[in-house]
Structure 1
Amino acid sequence: MSRLSMAFFTAGALCGLIGMAWGVYMGATHDHTTFPAHAHLNLLGWVSLFLMGGFYALLGDRAPVKLGWVNFSLSTVGAIAMAPALALLLKGNAGMEPIVGITSLIAFAGMIAFVIAVLSAWRRAA
């Protein structure tokens, strides 16, 4: 398996672990105020990063490696930076709103890079 796929799987697994710990904490404290941020970390971090890693693993040598690393960087930074910023915003820190917006755009750019990688692989397969 490539280092690119392993990077996605590692970041995804860490996001999953942190997301689960966060969920346990919310349950123990009965404070679910940050649930949307927890959900974003789980979906963007755990689920999306793992799916992207699987895609690059399946492509093997045919993967667009440079684009894949761009995809990894943007998607990982977007997921990891957005969750705490959103949590702080949900807790009443209005100053985090621009940070949430910026990190959302970073995550979105990561998805654009992934779509380009998928289309690139599709074109190569034809």
Structure 2
Amino acid sequence: MSKISVAFFGAAVLYALVGMCLGIFMGMSGDHTLSPVHAHINLLGWATLALMGTFYGLAGAQTPTRLAWANFAVSNLGNLISLPLLALLLKGNTDVAPIMGAGEMLLVLGMLIFGAAIISVARKPATA
């Protein structure tokens, strides 16, 4: 398996563990204020990154390496900015909204880069 695919899966597992721990914490405390953060960690961190890693693993030698690593960096940076700020926003700190918007734009950019990688792979002739 390629290094990029392993990197995506490794990051996805870390997000999954954080999401699980947050879910356990919310369940034990009875305070579910951060449920949207829990959902976003699991969706944007675990599920999305694991799916991207699966694609790059399946693409194999056809993977556009630079795009894939840019996808990895931008997507993770977007998560690392927007997810904690979402928690702060839900706890009442509205001052973080503009910075959170920047993180969200990085998440969109990460998905656009992923789309470009898919198009790049689709345009390459299939190898046996």
The bucket for the TM-score relative to the shorter chain is over 0.9
* Letter aligned with residue 93 of structure 1: N
Aligned residue in 1 for 2:110: 110
- Runs of 4+ more than 6 Å apart: none
Distance (Å, rounded) in 1 between the aligned partners of 2:17 and 2:90: 22
Q: Which moved further from structure 2: 5-14 or 80-89? A: 80-89
Structure 2 residues not aligned, in runs of 5+: none
Q: Give me the TM-score of the superposition, normalised by structure 1.
A: 0.96
RMSD of aligned C-alpha atoms? 1.0
Aligned residue in 1 for 2:72: 72
Q: Secondary structure at the match of 1:32?
A: coil
Aligned residue in 2 for 1:61: 61
Aligned residue in 2 for 1:38: 38
**CA shift at 1:17, angstroms?**
0.4
Asked if the contact 1:82/1:104 (under 8 Å) is kept, the reply is yes
Q: Give me the TM-score of the superposition, normalised by structure 2.
A: 0.95
* Letter aligned with residue 41 of structure 2: L
**CA shift at 1:16, angstroms?**
0.3
Asked if the contact 1:41/1:80 (under 8 Å) is kept, the reply is no
Q: Secondary structure at the match of 1:33?
A: coil
Deviations 1:6-39 (A, max 9, x none): 1100000000000000000011111111111111
Asked if the contact 1:45/1:80 (under 8 Å) is kept, the reply is no
Aligned residue in 2 for 1:96: 96
Distance (Å, rounded) in 1 between the aligned partners of 2:41 and 2:99: 15
